[in-house]
Amino acid sequence: MNNSHFSISLHILTLLDQVKGQLLNSEYIAGSINCNPVLVRKELANLHKHGFVQSKEGKGGGSTLAKNSADINLGDVYRAVKQKSLLGESKNEPNPDCPVGRQITKHLNDLYDEAETALVKNLSSKTLKDFSAGFK
């Protein structure tokens, strides 16, 4: 199954949207997520690389959204943090002499691509503002 990058990144972005421009440091964000600040810093670096957040370093520094939450598409966030196939990958090499084994990888990949396309389409119809509005 997919790892937690999307849920952690969406937690970070939602928290930053809720504080309306206030700089939040990684320790504060980690306290909200209940995880290690190092993990938060890694996710923040990736979100910064993709233009979702901006950061100020040093004492009194922190992170904030780089653009309006209405302009942050959840499909774009998913694509920015995705690292593995949504439904996983087989660790076994199928038997090429088996009529199913020699074809299963292609059929699974097609099925997984269809499922992920549907997921991204659904996420792309929502913005961070839409998602964040549910927390009020």
* Mean pLDDT along residues 37-57: 95
**Exposed, middle or buried: residue 14 (CB in 10 Å: 0-12, 13-18, 19+)?**
middle
Beta strands in 32-133 (DSSP E): 53-56, 62-65
pTM of the model: 0.86
Q: Which of 21-35, 86-100, 102-116 has the lowest mean pLDDT?
A: 86-100
Report in angstroms the alpha-carbon separations of 102 from 65, 79, 94, 125.
Answer: 48, 30, 7, 37
Indicate the residue type of 42: K
Q: What is the reported pLDDT for 42?
A: 95
Mean pLDDT of 103-118: 91
- The answer, yes or no, to whether residue 91 has pLDDT greater than 80, is no
User: For residue 92, what pLDDT is reported?
Assistant: 81
Neighbours of 123 (CB within 10 A): 19
